[in-house]
Chains A and B, each alone.
Chain A
């Protein structure tokens, strides 16, 4: 029983972790990303389409990520080039993604999953589970230790900073949003490759939970994924009937904690200073 929790936690954490890392890139560059849910959905959808057509999980993954990036491009174009409201655009993209999956309904047959690798005792997992910590550390290094990361953060902290260096803020914001689409797409791909079948509700609000993890993790890759691990653990608790607490109450724990952290009641979560701002 207790041992079941570890694999379940890892499976729950992985899609959240990818989406949260994606969300961090976008929000660090100053663009609010409420479209994570839709980007994950379209990623999952792309995986099914690609894998079904070709029979190869890798093609599925490629198509999934490509569609995630396409959605992200749409978000980026609307918000960065046209200065559209970032919140509304994000929600519109979620609606759009849902519409696409309902209009061109993908096959409901089983699709191949990504290769698994076994770990002693706790079981074997998709390659994406192992890739997440690598990507997390890579993101941390990129954002905090490289000049590019500094520029990405500068785009999110001030509307003018990059201009004074004659750099384009828009360019770095495009980068941030596109990376978020690719990562969220990866998260969606993992979900389908894990269960092999696409269903309409496959994302089930995970995009929003990932966003909560971004805030909970104070917009930092390591903390963000740690938050996902915690949320994933919380949602795995229903495997052991812990003191008979109903499922639903455990599920809302991440949401309540996010509200508490956001209010600064415990610790303080500080968004990038120019998040959501297009003009100074």
Chain B
């Protein structure tokens, strides 16, 4: 229950801040509710905002289950997004081939970017936290270099690539569902995210790999004694974690912008850590937590617009929420 308590505390805190500002806290809650749930259009936007966070949250959670800390989601999603965009620009095949091809490119790029820190950890014992942070900066710099030089759309000042082929676009859900208006941005990447959640759940719970992963996370010595090589697990888990984070880049490139744009992610990789933590590193928990953060990201704009409350309030709340949760976790661990 601690996560639910923490969320309640978070909203309460926001309300108190509003009152201290001399504003109507009730208005604040009303806007959050209306802007999130008043109709399918609004709710679709919440899901759209949640999609990249589902991927990054899952990525962090999978790593965490194996005792690995993937802080490199941000870098992984950038290289994956660029890989998807590169394939999308340079090929023009029918959608049936094009979409899987772009997805594979992104998964591969993400897996490589996550796998390198995994290999460094397995082979040299180098801590994955530092290496994933370093890889973040490297990914940002390299994609920035590519998109401001060779791959910048000709004749454009904005650092983004040419658009990807139409056949690589992920379909909007509005095309299939009559009750969602055409302007809604929700697209098939949300379906991919939902499938990923289920696949991760099955992987963790019902497969041998999932068992090995959890064992390495909980008791590496036992795992080794039982004939599992923790180094091998470290490498594939980091690669898998990177691949999943990469899909967050896909959601942007193939589902929203239809091109790679410089610094397109608004800190999804880092929010993913909060999402995983709040979701207790359980795939379904991650899904729920991502919806919450998707809602917050969406309503932050409305709050700023209608109540003149700067978005920073949510960041402050998010920071305190995380600290609260880890303190609580630390305390329970200390008692046992």
Which residues of A are interface residues toward B (Cβ below 8 A)?
32, 34, 74, 78-79, 82-85, 87-89, 91-105, 205, 208, 211-212, 215, 246-249, 251-252, 255-256, 258-259, 262-265, 271, 278
B151 lies within 8 A of chain A by Cβ: no
Q: Are A103 and B69 in contact (CB under 8 A)?
A: no
Quote the shortest CB–CB distance from A105 to chain B (angstroms). 7
B93 interface residue per 8 A CB criterion: no
Contact, CB under 8 Å: B134 / A256: yes
State the Cβ distance, A15 to closest chain B Cβ, in Å: 17
A99: chain B residues at CB < 8 Å are: 312-319
Q: A78-B327, A84-B327, A102-B310 given. 10 additional CB < 8 A pairs?
A: A82-B330, A93-B319, A95-B270, A99-B316, A103-B315, A215-B130, A252-B138, A255-B137, A256-B134, A256-B138
- Interface of chain B: mostly helix, strand, loop or mixed: helix
Contact status B330-A84, CB under 8 Å: yes
Chain A residues near B273: list those with CB within 8 A. 88, 91
Known: A100-B312, A212-B130, A263-B120. A88 touches B318 (CB 8 A): no
- Tell me if A85 and B315 are in contact (CB < 8 A): no
Binds A, one of B46-54, B142-150, B246-254: B142-150
Tell me the minimal C-beta distance from A156 to chain B in angstroms: 15
CB-CB under 8 A for A95 and B120, given A84-B323, A256-B134: no
**Contacts A82-B327, A248-B144, A262-B130 given; does A91 touch B322 at CB 8 Å:** yes
Total A-B residue contacts, Cβ distance less than 8 Å: 144
B residues 115-136 in Cβ contact with A at 8 Å: 120, 123-127, 129-131, 133-135
Cα–Cα, bound, A89→B314 (Å)? 17
Separation of A43 and B311 alpha carbons in the complex (Å): 21
- Give the residue of A78, A88, A91, A258 whose beta carbon is less than 8 angstroms from that of B134: A258
Residues of chain A with a CB closer than 8 A to B322's CB: 88-89, 91-92, 95
Bitwise interface map of B from 264 to 285 toward A, beta carbon under 8 Å scored 1, else 0: 0000001001100100000000
Task: Enumerate chain B residues within 8 angstroms of A248, measured Cβ to Cβ.
Answer: 141-142, 144-145
Chain B residues within 8 Å of A, Cβ to Cβ: 69, 71, 120, 123-127, 129-131, 133-135, 137-138, 141-142, 144-145, 149, 270, 273-274, 277, 310-320, 322-323, 326-331, 333-334
A45 CB → nearest B CB, Å: 11
**B186, chain A: closest CB distance, angstroms:** 27
The residue in chain A whose Cβ has the minimal distance to the Cβ of B133 is A208
Question: CA–CA, A278 to B313, complex, Å?
Answer: 32
Contact B130 A92 (CB under 8 A): no
Given contacts A82-B330, A84-B330, contact A105 B310 (CB under 8 A): yes
Query: Please, how many angstroms separate the alpha-carbon atoms of A147 and B320 in the complex?
Result: 36
Question: Judging by beta carbons under 8 Å apart, are B330 and A263 in contact?
Answer: no
CB pair A259–B313 under 8 Å, yes or no, is no
Q: How far is the CA of A102 from the CA of B138 in the complex (A)?
A: 27
